[in-house]
Chains A and B, each alone.
Chain A
Amino acid sequence: MSKVPADLKYTKSHEWIKDASDGSVTIGITDHAQEALGDIVFVEVPQKGRKLAAGEACAVVESVKAASDIYSPVAGEVLEGNAGLSDAPEKINADPYGTWILRIKPANPTDLKALLDAKAYEQMLKDEA
């Protein structure tokens, strides 16, 4: 069974969201997502300043098997993409929750409340299995 840390928020499309409590959040992909994708070999991150709508494709994670879009969980502005992933995309496989892909400033912090909590995401994985 894949790991689902209790302190994070989740989306149905397998992103995790960590509230940095400074008005920004970091976004990555879940253990389940990295396991399904397999060896990740390339990550494309968005430019700083890009405005994102909720659900908009904002990054691409490519494994040997397939390319997968990362969707912004909420509306907001890109603060930075994780530049370190360009040389070491495999870090996502090794440590999915310790490796963020982008950091954004949500337009409405209250939007975060609507995201899945760990329990709901875990239930969703169970239902999908």
Chain B
Amino acid sequence: MGKRTALYDTHVAAGARLVDFGGWDMPVNYGSQIEEHHAVRRDAGMFDVSHMTVVDLDGVQTRAFLRKLLANEVNKLHEPGKALYSCMLNERAGIIDDLIVYYLRNDWFRMVVNAATHDKDLAWIGKQAQPFGVKISERDLAMIAVQGPNAREKAVRVLPADARASALALKPFTALKYGGFFIARTGYTGEDGFEIMLPPAQAAELWQALVREGVAPCGLGARDTLRLEAAMNLYGQDMDENTTPLESGLGWTIAWEPAERDFIGRKALEAQRQTGTKRRFVGLLLDDKGVMRAHQKVMADGAGEGQITSGTFSPTLERSIALARIPAASGDAVQVDIRGKLCKAQVVKPPFVRNGKILIK
């Protein structure tokens, strides 16, 4: 038996199909995964993401610590509540995890890191924090992601009355705290919406209230097709400790300026930036029938071989899409080895879909 979130009984009662995800028993779908996907693209859906790790960082040197720990620059955060996406690197610039960090006060930041990397993340953060005297506390919070074009409008109706106006006024990638609630305008689907953290004891009640507002319960299956269409990387699949942000389509998350900021992994990244990467991270669109999957080989004529890191059937495009790491010299036409059969695919610039719109031809 895996770990259970505060919403486990709610999922079981709703007839969810449960799978193991990073040691947690999580819903993969309730009914049709494709319908759940469309609910998020067209209206509003919600995900139990309480398995994710919420860590609070306290201490006067927290900002200085994060400027060392993260490849992105927390000094970009000026307004309390503002969020930043970043990679946390090892000395070789390999990615230990990707995360969101929220600036709350100069001596208080909150980070949300992946569930599957919980133990190694906390060990690494704890070790690096020591010289800065920063206190690390893991928070036991439930988290519900409400996503879709109508998500915010529906979600505010079930929030405490006093919090509604300020929640609606949140700008993208900002958050507010209201009592035990932490409401962020963030997500992992390529749609607008909120991620709401709250005390576990209140999670089931909020979930049911959202159901009554017409928000569709969605499983990790739809979450995966949505994030893949939006070309948002999945840790452990599209990147890990053996790949750098430059090889993972995440160059935009590296803050090179100011040049004197000595974040962990910087030296190795600078070296790779000088010599250039041998592989590039791209999107693939399958021309033939079939479904591309992680670990399948990509053949680029004359340039060598690459590999699919994530692949699926895209419910919005109604064909298979993938993220892949291919030789830098690859052309735009490649072949994918799908179960022994060579299928034609085009190299495209991700994302495939954002805010309900198809972005590739």
Interface positions of A (Cβ within 8 A of B): 35, 38-39, 41-42, 44, 60, 62, 64-67, 86, 93
| Bound-state Cα–Cα, A41 to B221, Å | 14
B150 within 8 A of A: no
* B330–chain A nearest beta-carbon distance, Å: 25
Q: Which residues of A contact B28 (CB under 8 A)?
A: 38, 65
| Bound-state Cα–Cα, A65 to B221, Å | 7
B34 within 8 A of A: yes
B290 A64 Cβ-Cβ under 8 A: no
Q: Mark B26-65, 1 if CB is under 8 A from A, else 0.
A: 0011001110000000000000000000000000000000
* A3–chain B nearest beta-carbon distance, Å: 16
Residue of B nearest to A65 (CB): B221
B90 within 8 A of A: no
A39 B290 Cβ-Cβ under 8 A: no
Q: Mark B332-343, 1 if CB is under 8 A from A, else 0.
A: 000000010000
A64 B225 Cβ-Cβ under 8 A: yes
Instruction: Select which of A44, A60, A65 is within 8 A of B33 by beta carbon.
Output: A65
Given A38-B221, A60-B339, A62-B313: A67 and B29 interface contact (C-beta under 8 Å) = no
A62 B291 Cβ-Cβ under 8 A: yes
Q: Which residues of A contact B315 (CB under 8 A)?
A: 64
Residue of A nearest to B312 (CB): A64
Could you list 14 examples of A-B contacts with CB < 8 Å? A35-B17, A38-B17, A38-B32, A42-B289, A42-B313, A62-B313, A64-B221, A64-B225, A64-B291, A64-B312, A65-B221, A66-B293, A67-B339, A93-B32
| Bound-state Cα–Cα, A86 to B290, Å | 11
Residue of A nearest to B338 (CB): A67
A38 B29 Cβ-Cβ under 8 A: yes
Q: Which residues of B contact A65 (CB under 8 A)?
A: 28, 33, 221
Tell me if A's interface is mostly helix, strand, loop or mixed: mixed
Q: Mark B17-30, 1 if CB is under 8 A from A, else 0.
A: 10000000000110
Interface residues of B in 288-325 (CB under 8 A from A): 289-291, 293, 312-313, 315
B293 A39 Cβ-Cβ under 8 A: no
| Bound-state Cα–Cα, A93 to B29, Å | 14
| Bound-state Cα–Cα, A62 to B286, Å | 15
Q: Which residues of B contact A62 (CB under 8 A)?
A: 290-291, 313
B34 A64 Cβ-Cβ under 8 A: yes
Interface residues of B in 246-300 (CB under 8 A from A): 289-291, 293
Residue of B nearest to A93 (CB): B32
Q: Which residues of B contact A44 (CB under 8 A)?
A: 289-290
Q: Which residues of B contact A39 (CB under 8 A)?
A: 32-34
Q: Which residues of B contact A66 (CB under 8 A)?
A: 293
B291 A38 Cβ-Cβ under 8 A: no
Q: Which residues of B contact A42 (CB under 8 A)?
A: 289-291, 313
Residue of B nearest to A36 (CB): B17
| Bound-state Cα–Cα, A93 to B32, Å | 9
* B57–chain A nearest beta-carbon distance, Å: 37
Interface residues of B in 218-254 (CB under 8 A from A): 221, 225
Residue of A nearest to B313 (CB): A41
Q: Which residues of A contact B339 (CB under 8 A)?
A: 60, 67
Interface residues of B in 113-133 (CB under 8 A from A): none
Residue of A nearest to B34 (CB): A39
| Bound-state Cα–Cα, A67 to B313, Å | 11
* A86–chain B nearest beta-carbon distance, Å: 8
B293 A67 Cβ-Cβ under 8 A: yes
| Bound-state Cα–Cα, A65 to B34, Å | 11
Q: Which residues of A contact B313 (CB under 8 A)?
A: 41-42, 62, 64
| Bound-state Cα–Cα, A120 to B313, Å | 35
| Bound-state Cα–Cα, A41 to B293, Å | 14
Q: Which residues of B contact A60 (CB under 8 A)?
A: 339
| Bound-state Cα–Cα, A65 to B223, Å | 12
| Bound-state Cα–Cα, A64 to B33, Å | 8
| Bound-state Cα–Cα, A35 to B33, Å | 11
| Bound-state Cα–Cα, A41 to B292, Å | 12
| Bound-state Cα–Cα, A39 to B33, Å | 6
* A76–chain B nearest beta-carbon distance, Å: 23
| Bound-state Cα–Cα, A65 to B293, Å | 9
